[in-house]
Every structure is written in C-alpha cells, then in structure tokens.
Chain A
C-alpha cells in the first residue's frame, strides 16, 4: 500500500514536468493557433539559445552540491570587457571574443578560489560576487546600451538550412557537457563530490580541484552565452543576465538536477529551459499582459523547488524504511 503511493508520487516527481510541458503545449496550441508551428518553435529556440548556453556550465556547479548565483553577472562583466575592447579600443572582434571567454573563466575561478581556498559558503560567495561583478561591469562599460560591431551581430543570423546556428550550437554544448558528465573521470568525480564531500575525500578524490573547475566551467559558459546574447540584441545591455540567478536555477531544478547535488542529468536542462520559455511564449501568443510573466516565473520557481525538496524528503522516508 505504502509502496504504491511512493512509486506513484515518485513517477510524478520524476516526470511531472514532462507531463506539465506536454499539457502546456497542448493548451497553448488550442489557445493560440500560431503557437504549435515549426517556425514558432524555431524562433523560440533562437530566443532562448543564449540563455541556455549561459547556464549550461552552472549545472556542473549545482551537481557538486554548490550553487552559483553570479552567472548573469559573469556574463555581463566579461561581455563588458569585450565590448570595451571592441568599441573603445578598436580591437578585432575575434580577439575580443577570445578575451571574453578567458575573462569568464578567470572570473569563475575567482568564485572557485573564494569557495575552496578562503572557504566561504558558495551561496554567500556568489551572492556577493553577483553584486560585485555587475558593479565592475558598470564601471567598465557604463550603465548604458553600447552597440557592438556588425560582424559580431551577424552570428545571430547564421543558419544551416532553416535552423539557426546558435540553436545547433547551444544544443551541441548541452550534449557535449552530457558526455563530459557521463563518460569522463572528471564527470564521475564531480558527481561523487555532489554525493558527499567527505565520502569523496575518503575515496581520495581531489575535491577542491573538482569544485574549483566547476566554477571555472560555469564562468566560461556564462561568457560564451554572453556573446550570443549581445549578438541577439546587437548591443551590450546593462541588464544582461539580470535575474538569471533565479531563472537559471529554476531551469536547472525543473530539469531534474537536484540542488542538493550529485543527481540529475545535464540533458534535463533542455526540459527546464523549454518549460520556462513555452509558458512565456504561449502567453505572448495568447496576448496576455507581459506583467503576468514575473508572477508565473515566480510560481514555476516555487513549484520546481518544492518538487525538488519533496523528492528528497520522500527518499529519506524510503531509506528509513529500507534500513529497518
């Protein structure tokens, strides 16, 4: 009897968001005839690709059991550095792109150092650096919209057949990271760390190095995403990545990647990002007030977090039962 309840609730917790996504898609396609079309689908992907890239590295941090609130600010700061170089110092965009990526990794490394060497709780660390990095970005580029060179904007329009390049690129990154997660020693040790730091230490895994690398990866992909984000808008926006600390984490959690670490697949990111954007896109098509989006985002974040904690709680119950 008890067992049955657990399996049903487990099913819902594990696949609930797939079902919800499916129902949403059906609902919206009735409400808005243009919603369920290939073009709308591709457009949606095109819109969300930069965000997807930005948060793809964040998943690694979450898998270690830590958190990175500063992804949005890392994106903005590294983009600011690159823009400054391109616009004010006339640096070749290709070199600027390279600088952006290096900057992102270094900035991520700062988070890693504070967490692993100075030993500050990751939540506090990245909450602090989230503010600090954005402030540094403002100092460099000013809190204004700065148009970026045409050559960089054009990557937004590159496409293969009907499919935009950034779509292929972002999905490719997720698949690549999935491979890293599951088929490399690094990926396995990362998961081990998320399962329990002290156990991982006993298994002679270099936990500090792994955790540090996760922050660097998070920074790198935040910076990579920022390039596509700028191309999308054709300028550097002072609001780039704002709010990503929460939307990003909500997306991660919806994707079934536990905030407690050590569990989940990076492929879940696709599910998460779709769920969030399908809701917004669907509402747009139905012509609802845009002021309702924040409310809905809030609700989605809440539901995702609640489901995550429920999953853990159910598991604890199950474990107790098993142990006896």
Chain B
C-alpha cells in the first residue's frame, strides 16, 4: 500500500461542553494543496492546532510517511516537518528583517552568531519568497504583505514537508495575494504539501486541488476539487437542510431612526450607507474582517471616519450628528466584552451604573446617592433575571450571559433609541442566548432600533427583520427577512450575485 505523506486518523477533541472535533480523518500527499474550509467554529483551527502541536488531541493518530508521531508542542511539529503560518503574525516589530527571520534559528557557535552565514541564509530565503527588501529594515517599516512573506520565509527555513496557512490573505492586498499564490505553487512544485485554511471560496478555486469541508467538528465531505461546485460546497458548509424561518412581521412605515450615508474610513470601510428604522432588528452579516465591527465603531466615533454623515432622529427630525456625539443616542454593545465592555475587576453595581452616574446625583448635593444607585441596579437585576449573589460581586465572576445582561441593563438605564450590538450572544450558553434574544425583541417592541451583528448565522436569522451583508468593507447586498441561508453566506463570500 502506498503511504501518504500525512495521514490524520479519526482525530477527536472536546473542550468543556463542546465536541470540537469528531472522528476526523484525511490524507495528504506530497505536492498537494488541500483547502480546509468550514464556517466559523467548524473546527478548522482546532484541527490545525492539533497538527501544529499547539493543542493536544483526545484520541486518534497522526501518521507521517506511515509512522505514528506525537505532537506535544510546536517543536515536535517542526521536527516532523510541519510548519504553521498563523493568522496572527508572530513578528517582532522593532527588530530587523534579518533578526525576525532567524530569531529561532541563528547560525551560531557556542552562543555567538555567525553573522556572515546569517546574512546569507536570510537573503537566500527572502529571495525564495520573492521579497527583495533590505534585510536591515525594521519590520515595522514593512507593509503587511511583506510581513506575511517574512513570516512564511521564516517557516521555510526549516525545510518543512507540510505547510499550514491559516487564513493568510486576511491582511493582504490583491497584488500581495497573487504573490502568495505563486509562492504556494512553488512549494507544491518542490513536493511540499500545503493545507490552506480559508472561508473565502474564490481562493479555494484558484489554488486548491483537494478540498475538505468541516461542519460542527465533523468532516462532512472531502475529495478532489473538480468534483465540487460552489453551490455544493456552500451546502456542505451550512448543512443540507436549508431553512428560511421567521415569525415577526415587518412593521410598515416606521420612522427612520438612524441614517448613515457615504461613510468611509481609512480604506477599511468604503462608502457605506444604511437606514435603521424604528422597531426593527437589522442583521449585519459578514465574515470576520469584513468591516462589521469597524462600521459600528465608526458610527459612534470610536474610530475616525474620513467621509460620510450620520443622521439621528432627534425630536421627530433626522438631524446630522457628529459621530463623537452619537453615543448620546446610541448604545453600543462591543464585541470584546472583557476588554471593551466591562470593568472586569469591579462590582456588578459599578458596571451597571457607570454610563449613567449623572442620574444618581442630586441637584444641589453634587455627590452620588448610593441608595438610588442600589435601588436602580436591583430593579434591573430583577427585570433581566440576572443571576448573582450580590451587587458587590466582581463582574468577572458572573457567567457570560449574565455579564452581557449587565451590559444591556447599563444601556437600558440610559434608554437610547438605537442599539448597535456587536456579537452580543458570542460565547454565551444556549439558554442565555434565548434570553438575550428576547431582550432584544423587547427593545424593538418598545420602539428602539437594533443593528445586530453575529457570526452565528442561525441566531441572526432567528430574530432579524432585514439583513445587510458586508464583504471587504462594503455593503454588498440587502435581503428581506425570508432570504435563504445560502444566499446570505454566498453574498458574504462574494460568490452568488443576486
């Protein structure tokens, strides 16, 4: 029997509460390019982290050239010829290209660097990846595309047999991407196997020859790419059953509460216009890095905008508002709950009232009225069914769902008319998800408008009235509530034109 270069045999891995990988097997041969695809959370990264020695598998085998190998740490992976180009670069910004390339492999003699040899090695590997920069340049003066190439060059120094690329194009321009693809083809012709992780289907079709599709931790389909169509891949990614569900009726003729027109920022966002109506949940769907978060941040003035206007309905009238002031009417629930949403080591009460302290200050006596603060906090704890032992409890000890409720209650006290919610149900258990969604439904019932971002498309589809799809900083489509899942996913990967 022919032994393939890399053979993964029934790999399983579970994290507390989640079966991340279930019995995944596939083979890869020299000179093959395999695209590993799947939605967010399908288990792609888990699988590759196991292969790269970053995390440990629960069961299963990894065979290289027919031999069973253990990957206990990244060093093991490297010794077995497996190189991993992470999505997040591991470059040292203030050091030179030379130092960055060789930091873990300087040619040395008892600790002293052989400078000449080092320069030669660095230059030849840079040439190999087609980067002709001066090796004495500091990395921070180098563009993101070249940084990526340098990261790849570093990996090539070990002469790997398998190179894993994890979403390598997310920070690259078109030209840099082309250069990367040429490089991958070169690797292929040198008999190196490549595993390419992505969720952009166009890239899959331009470089891969084999494809493996993961969904919910299972390998649902695998084979030669030419046997697949785009539609078929999407179907495998999302699951065969295509459902268009919805229960809420769109209310007619509601006034527009928020109008954004021509918003551009730094090239991250291009000419974005949208309208948000009263009583509406507008789903903003797009892949990671499509500009969703940047958009909501720009609207409330957290990121600067280069062009565009924001209008908010104030006293029955749409008025132009500076984005810096927009947070008076807009409540933002940030994607990064721990770092941007909460004061993690402070009590629940503080976290609840911090945005609205003015309400607890007497007109004449300019100090906080603790009793009123307590009373108001307790009221919201009851209203939102927040589970806690005391208002003085540190908020980091609450569960994710309860933390999120505290954040929502913070805004409820301010009672803004517009809510921008960036991944409000991320990392929350199933029960709490329903509660949060009900809260959102209550909000719009009471006349607010919600712009909702979520990577979990099923969750998004269960409550939204309308969808906007973003791709690469632009709004690429608007869909009614009964749009199909395939359509939304297709639009986000820029495939299906409607």
Contact = CB atoms under 8 A, between A and B. Distances in A.
Nearest to A201: B90
Given A204-B74, A205-B104, A322-B143, A192 B95 contact: yes
A37 interface: no
B75 A324 contact: no
Interface stretch (B108-116, B319-327, B445-453): B108-116
Interface residues of A, number: 26
Nearest to A263: B94
B104 A195 contact: no
B183 interface: no
A113 B271 CA distance: 54
A204 B75 contact: yes
A185 B113 contact: yes
B150 to A, nearest CB: 13
A144 interface: no
A203 interface: yes
Interface string B262-305: 00001110000000000000000000000000000000000000
A262 interface: yes
B422 interface: no
A315 B90 contact: no
Interface string A168-202: 00000000000000011110110110111001101
A252 B438 CA distance: 58
Interface string A115-131: 00000000000000000
Interface in B42-87: 73-75, 86
Interface of A is mostly: helix
B144 interface: yes
A89 interface: no
A203 B140 CA distance: 18
A184 B95 contact: no
Contacts of B143: 322
Given A199-B92, A263-B94, A185 B266 contact: no
B103 A189 contact: yes
B91 interface: yes
B94 to A, nearest CB: 4
B92 A185 contact: no
A8 interface: no
A186 B110 CA distance: 11
Contacts of B86: 202
Contacts of A196: 92-93
B75 A185 contact: no
B108 A262 contact: no
A290 B144 CA distance: 53
Contact of A202 (B90, B111, B266): B90
Contacts of A194: 94
Contacts of A192: 92, 95, 99, 103
A194 B92 CA distance: 9
A30 B100 CA distance: 47
A60 B153 CA distance: 29
Interface string B241-281: 00000000000000000000000001110000000000000
Contacts of B266: 320, 324
B106 interface: yes
Contacts of B93: 195-196
A243 B115 CA distance: 39
Contacts of A203: 90, 103-104
15 contacts: A186-B111, A188-B99, A188-B103, A192-B99, A195-B94, A199-B91, A202-B90, A203-B90, A205-B103, A262-B94, A262-B95, A263-B94, A320-B266, A322-B144, A324-B267
Interface of A: 183-186, 188-189, 191-192, 194-196, 199-200, 202-205, 258, 262-263, 315, 319-320, 322-324
Given A185-B113, A262-B92, A324-B268, 7 more contacts: A184-B112, A184-B113, A191-B99, A192-B99, A194-B94, A196-B92, A204-B75
Nearest 9 pairs between A and B by C-beta?
Answer: A195-B92, A324-B266, A263-B94, A324-B267, A262-B94, A202-B90, A199-B90, A183-B113, A203-B104
